[in-house]
Amino acid sequence: MAIPDHLTLEIVTPDRSIAHGKVDEVVVPGAEGSFGVLPGHTPLLSTLTVGEIEYRRGDERSYVAVSFGFAEVLPDRVTILAQIAEASDEIDVTRAEAAVKRARERLERPVAEMDYERARLSLLKSLVRLQVATRRGRH
């Protein structure tokens, strides 16, 4: 069997499709660590963590912030089923910066009944969103 010359990437959430098209490479934030996918990759299924998906078409790179879900990798296709996903051009930097500030303040002044893990994940999601937003326009 010949190695395919591209991958078909699809990123979807329960609400909508974020990205769909042919790409040359994808980097996925797997729960066990980030991994890269090129055409012809061995099939695998991975859970996602909070992180950044990067994909490349030629010299053009795109970024998507994701939070949890699954990635299915086949030799010619990568399907991302994410609980939450936002492309870099959809993220409001001002709102993302405010969310980082709120999350840090919450963690600095914990209260007895605070869900620490939820607060930590909130900070992590906000930081990833801000990182992805600042990548817009840079390749």
pLDDT in tens, 93-123: 899 899 889 888 888 876 777 777 888 888 8
Both structure tokens of 85: 């996903």
How many structural domains compose the chain? Answer: 2
Residue 2 lies in a domain: no
Q: pLDDT category, 139, cuts 50, 70, 90?
A: very low
Domain boundary among 70, 88, 106: 88
CA-closest candidate to residue 44, choices 56, 52, 35: 35
More confident residue, 104 or 64: 64
Whether 75 and 113 map to the same domain: the answer is: no
What predicted TM-score, i.e. pTM, was given to this entire model? 0.86
Residue 55 lies in a domain: yes
Which region among 23-32, 74-83, 124-133 has the lowest average model confidence (pLDDT)? 124-133
The residue assigned the tokens 């600042």 is 134
Contacts of 1 (CB under 8 A, 6+ apart): 75
47 is in which domain, residue-wise?
A: 7-88
The residue assigned the tokens 């007895």 is 112
Domain harbouring 98, CATH code:
1.20.5.440
* Model confidence at 137: pLDDT above 60: no
